[in-house]
Structure 1
C-alpha cells in the first residue's frame, strides 16, 4: 500500500512539472511579438512613416551591395582576374516553358522553307510591296484615322473605302491590280479593335486583336515622318509560328530602307504581345560645362573653340501611332470564314501557364 501511494505522488509531481513546462512554453510563444508590417497599422501617418523608413533602408542596402560589387569588379580588373558573375534576375521570359518549335540558327529545313514560302518573292526583291488598306463596313472616324497614320508609315500603300463590298471581292480586285497585301481595320463601338492582314495572292491570313491605340495626333511632342522608306526592326519572333508571322509583317515593307530619313518601325514581341512603335532618330549637340568654361578663355584660338563645342547625342522621337497586337488566328490561303483551314487558332484552353508562349 505504501509503495502505491509513493507511485501516485511521483506521477502527480510529473504531471504538475509537465503542466508548468507547457505553461512556460505557451507563455514564451505569446511573448514573441509578430513582425510589424505597414499594412497592419491603422493610423495613416504612422503607416506612411514606417513604409518610407523601410523603403529608405532597402535603397541603402541596394546601394551598399552595388558599391561592394563595383569594388570587386575593379579589383578583378586590376589583378587581371575574371570578373565575378552577376546575378541574373528570374523573369517570365527566361523561365518560359521549353518549346519544340523554337527556331535554331543551324536549322537548314527552316532556311530552305524560306525560299519556297508565300513571302519569298517580296523578301527576295522579286516583287515590290504594294498594300491595299480598307475598313469594316460600319466603321467610325477612328478607323480611317488609324489608316491615315499607317499610310504615312508603309510605303506604296493605298486606301479604298469599304462601302458594301464583300471582302472576297476586295481580295479578287487586289489580286487583279497586283497588290501584295490587304490590311483591314475592324472597329467596334467606334474604336479599332482588330487588324486583318491578308497576304496575296496565296495567303496566309492573320487576325490580330488590337489594343492600347494612341494615334499620331494624340502623342505629345511627336515627330513628323518624312516619307522615306523606314528601317524595320523585328524582335523575339523565336518559334516557327512567330517566324512565319514575322515574315508576313516583313512583306508589308520594302527591303531597301532609306537611312537618310532616320525612320525606324519596330515590332517587338514580348509574352505573345506584339508592340508597335514608330520613331525617328534625332541628333543633338550638348555642350559640356568644362568645354563652356574653356570657350570663355580668351587665349584660345578660333579653331580650338570650334573643337570644344560639345558631344553629339542621339535620341529617339516617337512619331506614332502606338498600339499592341495579339495573334488570334492564322489561316491558310486568303480570307475564308466558312471553308478555310487554320494553321493556328488561339483558344482559352491553351492558356494553362503564364510561362507558355507561342510566338
Structure 2
C-alpha cells in the first residue's frame, strides 16, 4: 500500500505532467524532470528565466524518473534531467533516456572527471563523503577511510543503511582504489566498529554524536550546512554544533565526492532551450547560487563556495573519474550483503 507521502508525490507528479504536456512544444519554455527538490533548484531557474526570458516547468519525482520517460517515449515533454548521485546519472544513460551533448561552453566549465566521456551527463556540484566527529571526544584532526576499520574505533561509529547510494558510492571508490578483496575485509572491519545496526539518515548521525551514542559517523558535507542554517528546526543547529568535519585522505589521494548533475533528455522537444539551460547551469554564476543555497561545492574550477561551506575547511577531491567509481557500484552493493553490513556488529 502506498504511503501518504508517496501518494502525494505521485499525485503532484501527475498534475505537473498534465501541465507540462500542454506546454511541451511551446516557444520560450524548457521542461525539467528532477530528482532534486523544487525548492533547491528554484533560485537557479528564476535567475535563468530572468536572464533569458525562457520559462521553466518542473516535474519533481522521488523515484521512477527513467521508467516514466521511457514510458512516454517520443512524446515525452522532458527536456532536461536533473538528479543527484552518479548512480542515477548512469542509470539514466543506461536506461536510454538521454542523448549526448558536445558543447564547448559546458565542456570548458565542467572538468572531464565530472562528465560522461560521450556527453550523456554532466556534474554540476560535488559533495564530500566525510567523517562527522565529536568535538568533545575525538581529538584527531585527520583521518583516512582505511582507518575506519581500525579496532580503535570499535563501538564508536554510526552510519546509515549500507545500501544507500551515498555509501555505495564510497564503497565503490574503495574497490576502485584497493580492489574487491581488500574492500570486503575493510567493510567487515567497519561493520564490527559500529555501535549499532546502520540506521537513520546523515543528519541523524550528527544527532547520535551529540547524544553520545557514537563518536564518529559518515555523512555528506552539505547536510552540515543545512543543519547549521535550519531556522525551522533549531535543534538541528545543536547537532551540527556538536561535530567537526574531517576530510578523509586529505594528505594523500583526497576525499570521495559524489555529484549532482544534468542530462539532455533523449526526445527533448525544446532542445535549443534545454542546451541554453545546461550552459547556464554549468556557469560560475549558477554554481555559486547552488553553493549558497544547498552548501555544495561547484565543479567549475575557481568558483566561490559559500561562507558556511568554507568554514568546514578546504576539500581535496579524489581525482578518480566518477565513471571508474560507478563501474564498481554493483560489486559494492554485493559486498555489503556478503558481509552482512546492515546486520550491524557481530564481534
Question: What TM-score do the two structures reach when normalised by structure 1?
Answer: 0.20
Greater helix percent: which structure? Answer: 2
Report 1 or 2 for greater relative contact order, CA contacts < 8 Å, sequence distance ≥ 6. 2
Question: What TM-score do the two structures reach when normalised by structure 2?
Answer: 0.21
Greater strand percent: which structure? Answer: 1
Between structure 1 and structure 2, the one with the greater Rg is 1
